[in-house]
A and B are shown apart, each in its own frame.
Chain A
Amino acid sequence: MKKIYQTFIVLFLFCSSNIAQNNKNLNMTMVIKTPDMQIITLHSKLVLYNPVVGYFFQPHKRMDYQESASIGITGFPFLEDDMFAGINEWISQVFTKEQISKKIINNTINVSKMLSFRIRHLPIILAPNSLQQNLSIKYAIMDFVNQNENYNNFSLKLYYKQILLPVGKVVPLDFFNKEFEGYSFNLKLEKEDSLAQLKLNSKDPLFIGIMKSVQESKLTETKFLFRISLVKKKNPALNNNYYEFVAKYEEDFIPSIKSIFNSDLLEKHDLPINIYYSELNFPFTLYNQLKKQLYKKYATYRKILKSKCKIIIVPISLNKGNLLADVFIDYKKIKLDDNIKRWTPIKKRIQIPLVLGRVSINLPKENWSANFTRKGEHYDIYGYSDYERYINEYLNIKILNKERLK
């Protein structure tokens, strides 16, 4: 009898350990790239059995204020387990009553195709490869055939997918890519403890600035959900006084961190509050067409002409319906890794009225230059004359949970 118990316990432990390996909470990052190389990053926690819902609009014309993707509210309640797709007429009735339809109407007619998805993390019992995660995806695609006429004229498709994904690898979601031509949807799952890490030298003015703000902060408990977007518009002075929208790089639910990695002491510096850290990576565009044509032929062009913008938000206090926060911006326009400082980090104190829930920061036009040779290819880039004068850049910050903070 003893042996039976022992054997059963061993088998039970084996099974449960296998399940447990798959039961850990995960961080999910979905990156959507548009044909004109704009980037939307969506973050979400993936808890076992708890569904993550979200949507994406394919706009006719991209507008800087339009939310084209988000994790949260979806327009299709039949994506829930309890609801089944049925008669089109019934679905359309449900659809028009829901928030998304209102959103489309409020944002004027600018949507040609819409995706609504629900992702559910399920366990794998006795998995062949315990590093893989089991995701059940239910999604609907609404195609507005002729949106100029009528928003009731659309076709709707509903799909179910069961996929096994490895942890720590970027996986293209081909079934979404197929539906949205030219767009790319990538999904990455990471363990909850492998959050974004901010590495700074203790003598770095950014580190000193952040530490000052952290000491000043009184918000030890409050959690915020931020969306940030870096928007580029053509300089109206060179574009017939017209602010023409160029690009938007957006990140939803930017991750919160509670420590900074001290790169000179090689140790973690714990913080008493949550700070919010995002790193936007996007291509750099040269507006001096002659140089652009010349450098485009270079083999190193794509590797070097890449921008990286680190954004750190330190909430300071919540008072009278306003959030006081310090925003740190460390923007590197091109990737050179030569330890020459070309761009100055910024600290801006902002006040976000919770009624509006957002602010905008006009980014400065810096006078920088980069003259260098890489693998025998010589570049002469003058920041202001080749880029800055053509473009106005803005950093928009939005609080997504403003209702809870009021």
Chain B
Amino acid sequence: MKDYELKLSQFIDNELPADKQQELFHFLSENKEARKILADYMKIKNETKSFYKEMNTEFDDTQVISSRIYTQKENERKYKMMFYFSAAATIVLAFLFGSSFFKSNISLEKYQRLQTKYIIMQKNYSNVLNEKKRLVNLTDKFVKENENLKTKQVSIKHNLFHKSYSIKIKKKPARNLSYKNRNTYFANIPTYTITKNDFLGQQIIGN
């Protein structure tokens, strides 16, 4: 860009100071090319002005507002939908979490209750075992005493004949009742044999 072109542009836009304008006019009177450029600039400015004059730049306020309301409603609906989904998901999760929490609480309580029951049962059981041991010892003692007494009695009797011996009481082997019953049971089971009349249709032979 030439130096005077900038001044011309400033002049067109009313931005050139008054003292500089004098100088510019003086320069224009002597320079034909500069005058031509000024004329071009003037023309461009006028054309631009006329173009914007034709253009309708006023907005209808109602249109703007309605469009804004529309987008706002759209957003609200979206947010609502998202809210509903998240609310539903939260409810379901809360329900699942609550039920599992509740269940675990129940099972924990049940476990503790059973544990206590189990400990009591164990104690009872050990008490019963001790009692049983005591009774077994007592019975053994009694049996031994009884045996001794019998032996003494017999020896006293036989002492009269200058003989003595002790008696050994042999335990009878327990009869295997279940085995006997089982044999009887199996012997009584009805057994069927297939006869010719039991074949459906004529018996097939040798095929």
Binding site for B on A (CB under 8 A): 3-4, 7-8, 11, 15, 65, 82, 84, 86-87, 90, 93, 105-106, 108, 125, 205-206, 208-209, 328, 340-348, 350-353, 356, 358-364, 366-369
Known: A3-B84, A90-B122, A367-B206. A359 touches B198 (CB 8 A): no
Report the Cα distance A358→B182, complex, angstroms. 13
For A357, the closest partner residue in chain B by CB is B189
Can you list 29 A-B pairs, Cβ within 8 angstroms, ordered by A? A3-B81, A3-B84, A4-B84, A4-B88, A8-B91, A8-B92, A11-B92, A84-B118, A90-B122, A90-B125, A106-B178, A106-B182, A125-B96, A328-B200, A342-B204, A344-B199, A344-B200, A344-B204, A345-B200, A346-B199, A350-B192, A352-B190, A353-B190, A360-B191, A361-B191, A362-B192, A362-B193, A366-B203, A368-B206
For A107, the closest partner residue in chain B by CB is B182
**Contact among B118, B186, B193 for A65, CB-based, below 8 A:** B186
CB of B1 closer than 8 Å to a CB of A: no
Whether B194 and A346, one on each chain, are in contact in the complex, defined by CB atoms closer than 8 angstroms, is yes
Whether A361 and B207, one on each chain, are in contact in the complex, defined by CB atoms closer than 8 angstroms, is no
* Majority secondary structure, A binding face: mixed
Known: A106-B182, A341-B204. A4 touches B192 (CB 8 A): no
Chain A residues contacting B191 (CB-CB under 8 Å) are 359-362
Known: A3-B81, A84-B118, A106-B178. A369 touches B206 (CB 8 A): yes
Report the Cα distance A205→B92, complex, angstroms. 61
Chain B residues contacting A351 (CB-CB under 8 Å) are 190
Whether B114 and A84, one on each chain, are in contact in the complex, defined by CB atoms closer than 8 angstroms, is yes
Report the Cα distance A208→B89, complex, angstroms. 61
Chain B residues contacting A65 (CB-CB under 8 Å) are 186
**Between A and B, how many residue pairs show CB distances below 8 Å?**
103
Chain A residues contacting B81 (CB-CB under 8 Å) are 3
Starting from the known contacts A84-B115, A345-B200, A348-B194, 7 additional A-B residue pairs (CB-CB under 8 Å) come to A8-B91, A84-B118, A106-B178, A106-B179, A344-B202, A360-B190, A360-B192
Chain B residues contacting A363 (CB-CB under 8 Å) are 194
Task: Place the interface of chain B in its size category.
Answer: 35 or more
CB of B56 closer than 8 Å to a CB of A: no
A144 CB to closest chain B CB, in angstroms? 19
Whether B194 and A359, one on each chain, are in contact in the complex, defined by CB atoms closer than 8 angstroms, is no
CB of B188 closer than 8 Å to a CB of A: yes
Chain A residues contacting B193 (CB-CB under 8 Å) are 361-362
Q: Which of B103-141 contact A (CB under 8 A)?
A: 114-115, 118, 122, 125
For A367, the closest partner residue in chain B by CB is B205
Report the Cα distance A361→B190, complex, angstroms. 8
Report the Cα distance A206→B198, complex, angstroms. 12
For A364, the closest partner residue in chain B by CB is B194
Chain B residues contacting A361 (CB-CB under 8 Å) are 191-194
Chain B residues contacting A15 (CB-CB under 8 Å) are 92
Most A Cβ at <10 Å: residue of B89, B190, B200, B207: B200
